[in-house]
Amino acid sequence: MRDYGGAVRRFCADLLADSALGEDVAQTTFVNAFESLASFAGEAGCKAWLLGIARHRCLDVLKSRRRWFRLVEGKVAGDAKAPVIAHPPFLSNGSAQSESPVRVRRAPARRKRAARQ
């Protein structure tokens, strides 16, 4: 982690456009890498292997974010009495708990496009 931690954190933060979430995903990347260390064949460099794991974890988060946006937008637009999730499940640190669904629904179009891809 000492050698590649910064590169993995920057990669995740850039891909997710969120430094706090990028930090969480980078930590998950290193946990996953440690758990799969026995399967590391050494065909690619260590940094490439770690960034590959990080890419897959970031894509998982983006997919989760996209599903969450669809759920919240559908409930807000479809039925005023339907319960709305208080915070996105893809944030494990609870930092989004203060965000209301209206703030998420009104997120900048750039963030919505990134989440839908």
61-78 residue pLDDT tens? 999 888 877 777 766 555
Q: Are 88 and 65 within 8 A, CB to CB?
A: yes
Domain that holds residue 15: 5-116
Distance between CA atoms of residues 96 and 100, nearest Å:
8
**Rounded Cα–Cα distance for residues 35 and 38 (Å):** 8
- Per the structure, how many domains does the chain have? 1
* 3-state SS class at 93: coil
Q: For the segment 29-41, what is each residue's pLDDT rounded down to a tens digit?
A: 999 999 998 888 8
Binning the chain into helix, strand and coil, the percentages to the nearest 5 are 70, 0, 30
| pTM, 2 dp | 0.60
